[in-house]
Amino acid sequence: MQSQKDTSAQDAESTAIAVLAWLAGEPELLSRFLSLTGMDPAGLRAAAGDRGFLSGLLDFLMGHEPTLMAFCEATGATPERVGAGACAAVGRGCCGRLVMTAQSNIVPPGIVPPGTVPLDHIRLADRPLLVCDVDEVVLEYLSPLDAFLRSRGHELLPRSFRLHGNIVDSQTGEAVLDAAIKALQEDFFATQDEWQKPAELAVETLAALGKDADIVFLTAMPPRHAEVRRRLLHRFGLDFPMVATETAKGPVVRALHGGRPLPLAFVDDIHSNHHSVREHVPDALLLRLMANQVFLAMAPDPGEHIIPAHDWRDAERRIRAHFESFAGR
């Protein structure tokens, strides 16, 4: 007799396979998925039987509501079913995922998606808002992660714009399995204060911008590690409010901004986060900024609505220009 857990896992796998089959007939979306993951069609076929890959496939769908709804319309699936599959794929309940429906595509101000640290501690003034990712934007992430991995007999190889498949055993060169990568990331986040340091120019630039705008850090990290990250940021004088989330960032930014008639800038290194924010806050300035230049060189093209910033100095110039242009409307 199968357990409910086994049945849920099978449902998740069948849903992910259905998504993959649907994507095969959607060239534009398939191209976007390949760009975001750094995979090629051959690698896609090879990974089709890997549960970690299928989990990532469901995450891709859940992170962009128009894509989710297009899949549901084409296949007759419901957003709730896809969300439940995404939950089961990573072995946790739906409390850790945001399941959006056509009736709730915009999160009302103050309503925080599940899997997110509450926003009650954040008080915004009547001035512009800057929302920043932390890893690879405010703090270096990939270089410290590689140092951490090497201390544990692994290393991160810069072969494509992704972690999975590029973290290998230092002795054998074999790729580390997805389950082991998740465990390593968990250990890294738990000890991040021993490894991470600010990205170049981040501290002084944010201090300058903080004189004229509210700044909130929105970090893609399990909320259980939020306190360690707060202490780490405080060590470097980065005492701006922080929100940790495991869900799509767009709804969180929408809840933060609350539809105020004030300018908003969003800085991140991952394009899916930019797309999510644009879906929920169309007027936001979207900047891509990444500390690690080696991996940045392998990043997919950001697209017409996402502006690459070369460094924090360039980002500051673009943010201030956006704030000033908004004031003139």
Count Cβ atoms within 10 A of the Cβ of residue 42 and give its class: 0-12 exposed, 13-18 middle, 19 or more buried: exposed
Q: What gap in Å lies between CA 58 and CA 190, rounded to an integer?
A: 26
Report pLDDT for 45. 67
Please state the rounded mean pLDDT for residues 38-44: 68
pLDDT at 52 over 70: no
pLDDT at 88 over 50: yes
> Mutual orientation of helices 4-24 and 51-62 as an angle, nearest 10°?
70
> Mutual orientation of helices 142-150 and 178-190 as an angle, nearest 10°?
100
CATH of domain 129-140+197-327: 3.40.50.1000
Report pLDDT for 78. 78
Q: For the ranges 31-40, 96-105, 177-186, which has the lowest average pLDDT?
A: 96-105
Q: What gap in Å lies between CA 55 and CA 86, rounded to an integer?
A: 6
pLDDT at 1 over 80: no
- 194, two tokens: 């021993």
Q: Which residue from 201, 203, 265, 205 is spatially nearest to 232, judged by alpha carbons? A: 203
Determine the 3-state secondary structure of 297 from DSSP: coil
**Is residue 229 a contact partner of residue 194, using CB atoms and an 8 Å limit?**
no
Q: What gap in Å lies between CA 41 and CA 47, rounded to an integer?
A: 10
Which residue type sits at 252?
V
pLDDT at 46 over 60: yes
Q: For the ranges 76-90, 95-109, 247-261, which has the lowest average pLDDT?
A: 95-109
Q: What gap in Å lies between CA 305 and CA 277, rounded to an integer?
A: 11
pLDDT at 235 over 80: yes
Intervals of CATH 3.40.50.1000 along the chain? 129-140+197-327
> Each residue of 8-17: pLDDT tens digit?
567 777 888 8
> Each residue of 263-322: pLDDT tens digit?
999 999 999 999 999 999 999 999 999 999 999 999 988 888 999 999 999 999 999 999
Element (H, E) at 275: helix 271-280
- List CB contacts of 14: < 8 A, sequence separation 6 or more: none
- How far apart, in Å, do the first and last CA atoms of the chain sit? 65
> Each residue of 159-184: pLDDT tens digit?
999 898 999 999 999 999 888 998 99
pLDDT at 206 over 90: yes
Task: List beta partners, residue 285.
Answer: 265
Q: What gap in Å lies between CA 81 and CA 11, rounded to an integer?
A: 9
Report pLDDT for 114. 52
Number of alpha helices (DSSP H) and beta strands (DSSP E) in the chain: 14, 8
Task: List beta partners, residue 286.
Answer: 266
Q: Return the DSSP state at 232.
A: H
Q: Which residue from 322, 314, 324 is spatially nearest to 205, judged by alpha carbons? A: 314
- 52, two tokens: 């970690």
Q: What gap in Å lies between CA 323 and CA 286, rounded to an integer?
A: 13
Report pLDDT for 107. 35
Is this structure's pTM higher than 0.95? no
**Mean pLDDT taken over the chain:** 83
Confidence at 71, pLDDT banded by 50, 70, 90: confident
Report pLDDT for 64. 67
